[in-house]
Structure 1
Amino acid sequence: MSTRVALVTGASRGIGRAVAERLAADGLHVVAHYNGHEAEAKETVARIERAGGTAVAVQAELGREGGVEKLVDAVRTESGGRLAVLVNNAAAVPAGPMVTDTPERFDRLFAVNVKAPYFLVQQALPLLVEGGRIINVSSVATRMANPTQTSFAMTKGALEVMTRTLAQELGGRGITVNAVAPGGTRTADNAEAFIGLEDFITNLTALGRLGQAEDVADVIAWLASDRSRWVTGQTIDASGGLHLGPKIA
């Protein structure tokens, strides 16, 4: 296959869908991974095809035994063994404050948010082309002390450490590894979560609004392109300047 291939995990909705659509618009053939939202994943593919791009939806349950291997096998078949871009976007949602957390929820969070991307990179490395791109979706939760997201922030912190160490390891192959950290980002699927919070968040944001999935997707598309070839090992804040400090009236 001569077309560059991108794998986007968690591409059925939200930021993942926007990333899949943006990369397809840039001419990549997209493997749109999903777990339980088959109809939405098929809609992602349909939207890409209507816009003139190409994509395929692949189901795999990350965080469970065999999930990574199933996904990589599908990518190998779809890409002809040559993967240009890997976007680790799929993630489990915050499990709440420590006082209400459980070992089972904690383990699930780390299985999906840390273990799955770690071993997905490991298994996909033989497929990644020289000069390929790995982009991990982190969160501004790593730089903000939010007690309702302690375990979630820990998983994203681990992802950022992995980003730096992999950048060092893979630089000899011209592969760049970076992370993108969204802030409050409203999508069609999470709009209700911002009811009553929009003003609070926008007042803490330098650019004065909630983010949109496309805002984050454009940053990821830049990192996936040759224009970012000299940037690696970085976490790029894509939050519109959330919680930079107090605003002076």
Structure 2
Amino acid sequence: MPLLSGKTALVTGASRGVGRASALALARAGAQVLVHYCGEDKAADTVVAEIRAVGGNVEKVAADLCAPDGPHRLARCVRIVIGARLDVLVACADIAKEASIEDTTVEDFDNLFAMNVRAPYFLVQQLMPVMCKGSSVVLVSSLTAHASVGTLSAYSATQGAIETLVEHFALTLGTRGVRVNGIAPGVAPCTSSPARTAGGPEATLGIRASKHIPPPEDIGGTVVFLASDAARGINGETLWVDGGPTLSIS
């Protein structure tokens, strides 16, 4: 029997990228999937068609999560479709703005926090009544932002906020048997270290531990794991999905 047979799942930002991969993976695992999108009708229709092609049960729901009432509208739509129980919430929708600190505007800053932090916060708030023991929330962060210097400072701040929300949501919802975890896909900061060689103390071997951006499908598999009972002992954690270290010699 599939891992998530009989479960219902909402994936925000499911028309592309990690959201799309997560929706497909959840459907293959047996979940009924609600594909959230905003302004990308054709892309959302493609995801819906792909899920139906593998025998999945799927609906699409539209909402502008940047709008102050966007999460509330989406939650109402979701409850109409799924009724009184939501088993999995995966928050993938986000926006990024590449700009120096000097060039970042108040509007840029507010938009980033509206989509990346405010939206998942109030979506969790609004869907709490239909999440019960055994439900799972997965908030997707990004290590790419952590690794960037100078041009993604505001975006990085939103991702740090998400990791903090994971911890606080896990404490609050954990008392109801709802698990909350995060996924941080992307590039982690590289490190290097010198090593002595046979050439004497002056000679060093530079070893760099580098990490890469994993394909969206790898993130989708991690989402399924965190949403399943196989991860019932994991709560309040942010998992780094970056392929692990590789060594290069310089």
Range class of TM-score, shorter chain: 0.7 to 0.9
The answer to whether the 8 A contact 2:37-2:63 is kept is yes
Q: Which of 163, 172, 179 does residue 160 from structure 1 map onto?
A: 163
1:73-119 Cα deviation digits (max 9, x unpaired): 11101111200000010001234221211100110000000000000
The answer to whether the 8 A contact 2:145-2:152 is kept is no
**Worse-superposed segment, 101-110 or 138-147:** 138-147
The answer to whether the 8 A contact 2:181-2:237 is kept is yes
Partners of 2:46 and 2:144 in 1: CA distance: 30
Q: Does 1:174 align with 2:177?
A: yes
Larger Rg over CA atoms: 2
Q: Does 1:139 align with 2:153?
A: no
Q: Which of 224, 230, 234 does residue 231 from structure 1 map onto?
A: 234
Structure-2 residue corresponding to 1:45: 48
Percent identity between the two aligned chains: 40
Q: 1:95 to 1:107 in 2, by over 3 A?
A: farther
The answer to whether the 8 A contact 1:95-1:109 is kept is no
Q: Which runs of 5 or more structure 2 residues have no equivalent in the other structure?
A: 188-207
Partners of 1:34 and 1:181 in 2: CA distance: 21
1:132, CA displacement in angstroms? 0.5
1:63, CA displacement in angstroms? 1.6
Q: Which of 207, 210, 219 does residue 205 from structure 1 map onto?
A: 210
TM-score normalised by L of structure 2 = 0.85
1:144, CA displacement in angstroms? 3.0
Runs of 4 or more, structure 1, over 4 Å off, are: none
Within 5 Å, give how 1:12-51 maps onto structure 2.
12-51=15-54
The answer to whether the 8 A contact 2:97-2:108 is kept is no
**Greater helix fraction, Structure 1 or Structure 2:** 1
Aligned-partner residue type, residue 33 of structure 2: V
Within 5 Å, give how 1:81-230 maps onto structure 2.
81-141=84-144, 143-144=146-147, 146-183=149-186, 205-206=210-211, 210-230=213-233
Count of residue correspondences = 226
Partners of 2:155 and 2:165 in 1: CA distance: 16
1:204, CA displacement in angstroms? 6.3
1:145, CA displacement in angstroms? 5.1
Partners of 2:21 and 2:30 in 1: CA distance: 15
1:162, CA displacement in angstroms? 0.4
Aligned-partner residue type, residue 220 of structure 1: V
The answer to whether the 8 A contact 1:205-1:240 is kept is no
Q: Which runs of 5 or more structure 1 residues have no equivalent in the other structure?
A: 185-202
What secondary structure does 1:227 align onto? helix
**Worse-superposed segment, 62-71 or 214-223:** 62-71
Q: 1:213 to 1:62 in 2, by over 3 A?
A: same
Q: CA RMSD in A?
A: 1.9
